[in-house]
């Protein structure tokens, strides 16, 4: 028992902040992915809202299906054709996976910093 002498409260607050940042990265990367693939505003918002809804409606697959479906439905509501809607959905998924990759990098950095402190 080390009584929190090695790991400070400040360090835990920093880790919590990084964890919150990584959660925001999911939504921001989905937004940017859809935007990069030339989605309309409705497509972008559909991707973000679909991501949030997908987590709760159909876990764990909804995390991937939700942004894609939301972007596709948003593009169709905008009046765009199916190829553009599918392309928008693909952008949302590409953004989501880039966010996941960033979260893996952040998590690895957090783990390494923790191991450096305790060793």
38-86 pLDDT per residue, tens: 999 999 999 999 999 999 999 889 989 999 999 999 999 999 999 999 9
Q: How far is the C-alpha of 29 from the C-alpha of 15, rounded, in Å?
A: 21
How far is the C-alpha of 88 from the C-alpha of 76, rounded, in Å? Answer: 10
Asked if the model's pLDDT at residue 1 lies above 80, the reply is no
Nearest to 57 by CA among 72, 71, 74, 70: 70
Whole-model pTM? 0.80
Interior/surface letters 11-39, b for 16+ CB within 10 angstroms, e for the rest: eeeeeeeeeeebeebbbebbbbbbbebeb
């Amino acid at each position: 028992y080390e009584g929190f002498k090695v790991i400070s409260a400040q360090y835990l607050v920093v880790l919590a902040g990084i964890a919150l940042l990584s959660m925001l990265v999911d939504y921001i990367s989905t937004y940017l992915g859809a935007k990069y693939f030339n989605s309309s505003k409705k497509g972008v918002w559909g991707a973000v809202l679909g991501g949030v809804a997908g987590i709760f409606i159909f876990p764990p697959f909804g995390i991937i299906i939700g942004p894609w479906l939301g972007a596709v439905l948003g593009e169709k509501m905008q009046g765009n054709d199916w190829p553009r809607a599918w392309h928008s959905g693909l952008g949302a998924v590409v953004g989501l996976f880039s966010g996941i990759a960033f979260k893996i990098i952040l998590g690895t950095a957090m783990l390494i910093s923790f191991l450096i402190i305790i060793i």
